Amino acid sequence: MMQNESTAAMTSDAGGLAIKGKIAAHYPYQMRIEPRAEGFLADIVFCCICQPALYIRPFVTEFSQQVDWLHQNVQAVAASQMQAAGEQEQAVMFVAGAPCLARYSEDGSYYRAIIEKVDDVQDAVHVLYVDYLTREILPKRDICECPLELRLIPLSFACVRLAGVQPNATRPIAEVYGRLQELLEAASFYVRFIQRPDVEESTSLPEVELFTAKDCQTLAYQTLIDEQYLVADTNQ
């Protein structure tokens, strides 16, 4: 199954907004994290400065089960689509912005994606894999339609924000989140909830602290606090 890759280029404000908008237009739902006192391990997917927010993939049973279930269903649908579709049916798929299922070159499996660019000269398409936020250029024969029932399944990551800290206003925000992305990509981290807003009454993101280990002794981003990239959040 596909693994996360570096997505530092997506931390820019315009880039984050554009990506979020493109994905939400066709894949409108995200996984929800239920509050848990014991916390959990997770990986970073990417840092988005437009909210600001962190997109993480938790290592918890319900997430893993849904990711596995989604993967199996995508493979079954893609196999059926590729067997049944003729060239004329496939041609209507090659439109920038269209949702699709795209074969990942490294493992041969299909994943949910969006077409970002069509290159008719090279007979290729540029795609963004929406559950992993990575990009690839593929031959047109390696994509097929993504039906509505697959597009309504929540994305394979959750959105949170760091509790108690904010970017230092004297530093470029893209630089702050670029450094944060680098730190969090280096290793998995332990997530501890500080606040879980009632989603029926608030649109606020869950607030968390990220630690290097389960003992919660060292923040995964302590270096950024020490170097004044992150400072105390005066709004909390």
**Domain of residue 46, CATH code:** 2.40.50.90
Query: Does residue 77 form part of some domain?
Result: yes
> Are 147 and 166 within one domain?
no
Strand-pair category, 158-162 with 207-211? parallel
> Are 176 and 213 within one domain?
yes
> Are 119 and 161 within one domain?
no
Query: Does residue 132 form part of some domain?
Result: yes
Q: How far apart are CA 79 and CA 83, in angstroms?
A: 6
* Of 33, 59, 9, nearest in space to 189 by CA: 59
Report which of residues 31 and 40 the model is more confident about.
40
Query: Does residue 97 form part of some domain?
Result: yes
Query: Does residue 134 form part of some domain?
Result: yes
Whether residue 184 is predicted with pLDDT greater than 80 in this model: the reply is: yes
Tens-place pLDDT, residues 203-212: 578 889 999 9
Measured between alpha carbons, how far is residue 147 from residues 75, 111, 137, 175 in Å?
A: 13, 12, 22, 38
> Are 161 and 59 within one domain?
yes
Query: Does residue 27 form part of some domain?
Result: no
Give the pair of three-digit tokens for residue 59: 């290592």
Q: Which of 100, 121, 152 is the last residue in one of the domains?
A: 152
Query: Does residue 58 form part of some domain?
Result: yes
> Are 128 and 180 within one domain?
no
Give the pair of three-digit tokens for residue 112: 């949910």
Whether residue 224 is predicted with pLDDT greater than 90 in this model: the reply is: yes
Burial 16-44 (b: 16+ CB within 10 A, else e): beebbebbeebbeeebebeeeeebbebbb
Query: Does residue 113 form part of some domain?
Result: yes
CATH assignment at residue 123: 2.30.30.140
> Are 159 and 146 within one domain?
no
Please give the single-letter amino acid code of residue 142.
Answer: D
Half-sphere exposure (CA, 13 Å, Cβ side) for 234? 3
Report which of residues 46 and 179 the model is more confident about.
179
> Are 144 and 173 within one domain?
no
> Are 98 and 144 within one domain?
yes
> Are 96 and 205 within one domain?
no
- The secondary structure element, H or E, covering residue 56 is strand 53-58
> Are 118 and 56 within one domain?
no
Percent with pLDDT over 90 in the chain: 58
Q: Which of 104, 120, 152 is the last residue in one of the domains?
A: 152
Measured between alpha carbons, how far is residue 27 from residues 137, 147, 165, 228 in Å?
A: 21, 11, 30, 37
Number of Cβ within 10 Å of residue 3's Cβ equals 9
Q: How many structural domains comprise the chain? A: 2
CB 135 within 8 A of CB 127: yes
So what's the pLDDT on residue 9? 37
- Domain extent, residue 132, equals 70-81+90-152
> Are 108 and 218 within one domain?
no
> Are 167 and 214 within one domain?
yes
Tens-place pLDDT, residues 89-140: 554 568 999 999 999 999 999 999 999 999 999 999 999 999 998 999 999 9
Query: Does residue 176 form part of some domain?
Result: yes
